[in-house]
Amino acid sequence: MGLFLSFTILTLSLQSTAHLSISLILSLTLLSQNLTDPSFLLPPAKKMGKKRNWSWSSALVGAASAVAATAIISAKPKDPTFHLISIKFTSFKLKPPVVDAELILTVHVTNPNVAPIHYSSTAMSIFYEGSLLGSAQVDAGSQQPRSCQVLRLPARLDGLKLAHHGSRFISDVAKREMVLDASVDIGGFAKVLWWSHKFKVHVDSHLTVDPVFLDVLDQENTSQLELFLN
């Protein structure tokens, strides 16, 4: 019964916030001390009068378990952040009313989590006035915990039909402000201690760029993380 209660306290502590780590430490210390004490298996009547001895091994086991549990609590997954730094054309072919263009998107990515992440290849979709202009390729890779890195994503805008949004595009060029939207779904897995969890991150970006010099004037990024525990 004492073993069952100790595991119950441990489970409740793991599901709570870091403020309950004190109860977790006490529970684990008592549990480890019970397991190393042979009188734990005796009936209550036979244990009466038996003096309990302090065990350093019990204390160390309890402390180590508490540290591991605290690490799990602090490892609550956080959304990675994406920030577009620049856009650079590598090829531009104008065949009115169609424009074929190739460009490089430089993106700054931050992993705020305490575990490294590994992600699969995907594509970022680029929209203008609700129409799909093209996509940028994101290669498979990984990123270390609590680190930043810069990704250079090749993008291709195939068959940009200016006839569909001709007047709006001309107006954007005149005022040197062009609004683009981009979205991407990145899937992968993160490993925390001995657990490996799959995840999927959906990122939406709302960008204002200078269509003449391709400067990024403003941007708003939102992300949503979905974690698969099984």
CB contact set of 156 (below 8 Å; sequence gap of 6+): 101, 102, 103, 134, 135, 136
CATH 2.60.40 domain range(s) in the chain: 81-228
pLDDT confidence band for 150 (50 / 70 / 90):
very high
pLDDT confidence band for 54 (50 / 70 / 90):
low
Q: Considering only the top CATH level, what class is 81-228? A: mainly beta
Q: Is the pLDDT reported for residue 186 higher than 70?
A: yes
pLDDT at 149: 92
pTM of this structure: 0.61
CB contact set of 191 (below 8 Å; sequence gap of 6+): 115, 116, 197
As a whole number, mean pLDDT of residues 119-144 equals: 88
> Over the range 138-151, which residues count as b (16 or more CB within 10 Å of their CB) and which as e?
beeeebeeeeeeeb
